[in-house]
Amino acid sequence: MIDFLIIGGGIAGLSAGARLSAHGNVTVLEAEDALGYHTSGRSAALFERGYGPPSVVTLNEASASFLDTNGYLSPRGLMLVGGKDQHDVFQKDMAELGVQQISLADAQSRVPILNLETVGYTAISYSAFDIDTDRMLQDFARTIRRNGGSVLTRQQVNAVSKAGHWIIEASQTFEAHNLVNAAGAWVDEVAQMAGITPVGLTPCRRSIARIPAPGGLDLRDWPLMLGAGESWYAKPDAGKLLVSPCEADPTTPHDAYADDMVLAEGLARYEAMVTEPVTRVETNWAGLRSFVADGTLVLGPDPADPSFIWSAAQGGYGFQTAPAASQLVTDLATGATPQLDAASVERLKPDRLRQ
């Protein structure tokens, strides 16, 4: 009998699985051929300590040392960029992100393509880092296997029932004491299969275009540029620039792809703030950032059946929160005292959605 059967081979499932594998026998079931095929393979791979609502920032802060100690972070920096007509939204973002305003000349010395005819305000954060997301996924999977667990792909879970313990039907039948729902955009579908009340998840599409290095410049030391009001961002990536329109378009769980018009509008917002035109989009993709109503994660046992454990609603923060989120799932699932403060734990537990 499996102690913890986890549905979903993205960052939510693998990180929880790695932690739980120290406490019992773990099996992860992933529907696709490859781990991280859906949202976890499509992220911008950024850690920014101040990004997200308060309980997400708590998780970011609690995750930082694990990410750093294990060598997953490398310096990037984040530059907030406001247009001349964006004073108020720029000020609001500056306060929320806790970033420091810098002169336009200083900003242009860091990113030479900034257009000072349109850019009015700039600020810098030094608490933004690139995350080695591929290595995180592989390392967590390796930990599960090393602890005697299994990580299985091509295992689409089609039915879940309970007869004292959980019975999970995929390519074969699995039996487990505990079921961990880490199915990303599909968590409410999994809950329904298991007879558990859904949490009201909304998958929201966000897309990215990869463009050649503007002006053929060396981008290695540029910070991520974030348009005020989260209206676009541009991040150096292996000699190219990733540009996102930062859309959050509600949709249904599916294999997401970018909308050409949304991409074009986002690229235009980026282009308005720089001197180099976008000549070509080399490739593009989209992923689903999934949220519940209060915009924060859903972690821990379901109040109606504690053997059904949520690791859900990672939104746009799944990698930067994974070390602390998976620790909390494990603490709550094993009855340990959570390492996070009690108020944050209450804001993250599924119980809050059932009152």
Ligand X SMILES: Cc1cc2nc3c(=O)[nH]c(=O)nc-3n(C[C@H](O)[C@H](O)[C@H](O)COP(=O)(O)OP(=O)(O)OC[C@H]3O[C@@H](n4cnc5c(N)ncnc54)[C@H](O)[C@@H]3O)c2cc1C
| Residue 229 φ/ψ region, left for φ over 0, alpha for ψ in the -120 to 50 degree band, beta for the rest | left
Contact pattern for ligand X over residues 53 through 92, marking x by CB under 6 A: ----------------------------------------
* Residue of the chain from 20, 128, 182, 309 that contacts ligand X (CB under 6 A): 182
CB 196 to ligand X: min, Å? 14
Q: Which of 5, 6, 11, 81 binds ligand X (CB under 6 A)?
A: 11
Stretch that binds ligand X, among 119-127, 265-273, 313-321, 338-346 (CB under 6 A): 313-321
Site string for ligand X, 218-257 (x = CB under 6 A): --------------------------x-------------
Q: State how far the alpha carbon of 352 is from the alpha carbons of 199, 201, 252, 303, 329, in Å.
A: 10, 14, 24, 10, 15
Decide whether 182 or 345 has the Cβ nearer to ligand X. 182
Q: Which is nearer to ligand X, 30 or 93 (CB)?
A: 30
State how far the Cα of 119 lies from the Cα of 104, in Å rounded to an integer.
8
Phi, psi for 25 (deg, rounded to 5): -80, 125
At 218, list the tokens: 């060396």
Rounded CA separation 151/14 (Å): 9
Nearer to ligand X, 116 or 278 (CB): 278
State the Cα torsion 26-27-28-30 to the nearest 10°.
180
Q: Using CA atoms, how far apart are residues 75 and 204, in angstroms rounded to an integer?
A: 28
Collect all residues with Cβ–Cβ distance below 8 Å to 183 and sequence separation of at least 6: 7, 8, 13, 157, 189, 190, 312
Q: Which is nearer to ligand X, 231 or 314 (CB)?
A: 314
For residue 35, give the nearest of 2, 10, 13 by alpha carbon: 10
Query: Taking CB under 6 A as the rule, does residue 29 contact ligand X?
Result: yes
Q: How far is the CB of 126 from ligand X (least distance, A)?
A: 17
160 binds ligand X (CB under 6 A): no
What the block records as the tokens of 183 is 């199915």
Stretch that binds ligand X, among 19-27, 37-45, 172-180, 275-283 (CB under 6 A): 37-45
Q: Does 50 bind ligand X (CB under 6 A)?
A: no
Closer CB to ligand X, residue 270 or residue 319?
319
Residue 155 burial class via C-beta count within 10 angstroms: exposed 0-12, middle 13-18, buried 19 and up: buried
Q: Is 42 in the site for ligand X (CB under 6 A)?
A: yes
d(CA 333, CA 346): 15
For residue 65 the two structure tokens come to 């040392």
Checking DSSP bridges between strand 78-83 and strand 224-227, what pairing results, if any? parallel
The reply on whether position 31 binds ligand X by CB under 6 A is yes
Closest CB to ligand X among residues 114, 243 = 243
141 interacts with ligand X by CB under 6 A: no
Binder among 38, 49, 347, 349 for ligand X (CB under 6 A) = 38
Among positions 45, 94, 119, 298, the unique one binding ligand X when judged by CB under 6 A: 45
* Chain positions contacting ligand X, by CB under 6 A: 7-13, 29-32, 36-40, 42-46, 155-157, 182-186, 190, 206, 208, 244, 287, 289, 314-320
